[in-house]
């Protein structure tokens, strides 16, 4: 299972209209290369210049899992005997690779930069809260997210789903919380997609620098 399985499941459930909106974003298309493993990334670059047959790919054990991931993400499509990248994703990816300015939702603020963060224990505090109901920090809406995802019950006790969550990799835990937050606090699928893209845009920004939201 991939470390971004929650994201994969989220995208897999989108109808074509919303999925195409996501793939129209060059920020998302470039970001996905950072999120998937090297094998899947290599397959995407191969598909940029080649259109192999399904049989050829299936005979390669190293490619089989990567192809399955790209299929679940809706990034590839079969035409005749050959496999192609989704055309919308392909165009956005090529555009995104050439982009220098990715200020869509945020731009650098004139405010003084924030204090440098030396260590981030936020996820550890959340895990501690799930298991012990105790924490030294108050996290914005975390209880609501955990309750919505059925990781804890109304009394704050951990559930079976919560135990399964603890067994996931750190990356998958973070993505699970992000997707649960999107589902809990947004009003529409369009809002979910915009929020997801805005979060991915932040991954291209410099750490410990303040940014302001652009008027859109």
Provide the domain limits for residue 80: 5-98
DSSP sequence for 136-194: SS--TTHHHHHHHTTSB-TTS-B-HHHHHHHTS-HHHHHHHHHHHHHHHH-SSHHHHHH
Task: Encode pLDDT of 83-92 as tens digits.
Answer: 889 999 999 9
pTM, rounded to two decimals:
0.83
Task: Encode pLDDT of 123-176 as tens digits.
Answer: 888 888 888 888 766 666 888 999 999 999 999 899 999 999 999 998 899 999
* One domain for residues 127 and 192: yes
* Paired tokens of 32: 């996905």
* One domain for residues 31 and 117: no
- How many of the other CB atoms lie within 10 Å of CB of 63? 19
110: three-class secondary structure by DSSP:
coil
Task: Encode pLDDT of 75-123 as tens digits.
Answer: 998 888 888 899 999 999 999 888 766 666 666 666 665 555 544 677 8
72, 98, 124 - which closes a domain: 98
């Amino acid at each position: 299972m991939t470390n971004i399985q929650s994201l994969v499941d989220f995208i897999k459930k989108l109808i074509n209209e919303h999925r195409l909106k996501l793939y129209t974003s060059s920020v998302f298309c470039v970001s996905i290369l950072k999120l998937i493993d090297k094998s899947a990334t290599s397959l995407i670059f191969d598909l940029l210049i080649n259109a192999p047959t399904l049989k050829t790919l299936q005979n390669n054990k190293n490619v089989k899992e990567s192809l399955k991931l790209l299929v679940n993400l809706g990034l590839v499509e079969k035409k005749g005997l050959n496999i192609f990248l989704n055309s919308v994703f392909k165009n956005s990816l090529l555009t995104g690779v050439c982009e220098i300015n990715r200020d869509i939702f945020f731009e650098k603020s004139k405010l003084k930069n924030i204090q440098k963060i030396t260590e981030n224990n936020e996820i550890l505090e959340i895990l501690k809260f799930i298991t012990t109901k105790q924490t030294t920090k108050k996290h914005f809406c975390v209880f609501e997210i955990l309750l919505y995802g059925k990781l804890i019950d109304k009394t704050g006790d951990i559930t079976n789903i919560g135990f399964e969550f603890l067994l996931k990799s750190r990356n998958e835990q973070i993505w699970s919380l992000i997707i649960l937050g999107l589902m809990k606090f947004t009003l529409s699928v369009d809002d979910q997609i915009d929020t997801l893209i805005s979060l991915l845009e932040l991954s291209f920004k410099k750490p410990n620098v303040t940014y302001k939201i652009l008027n859109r």
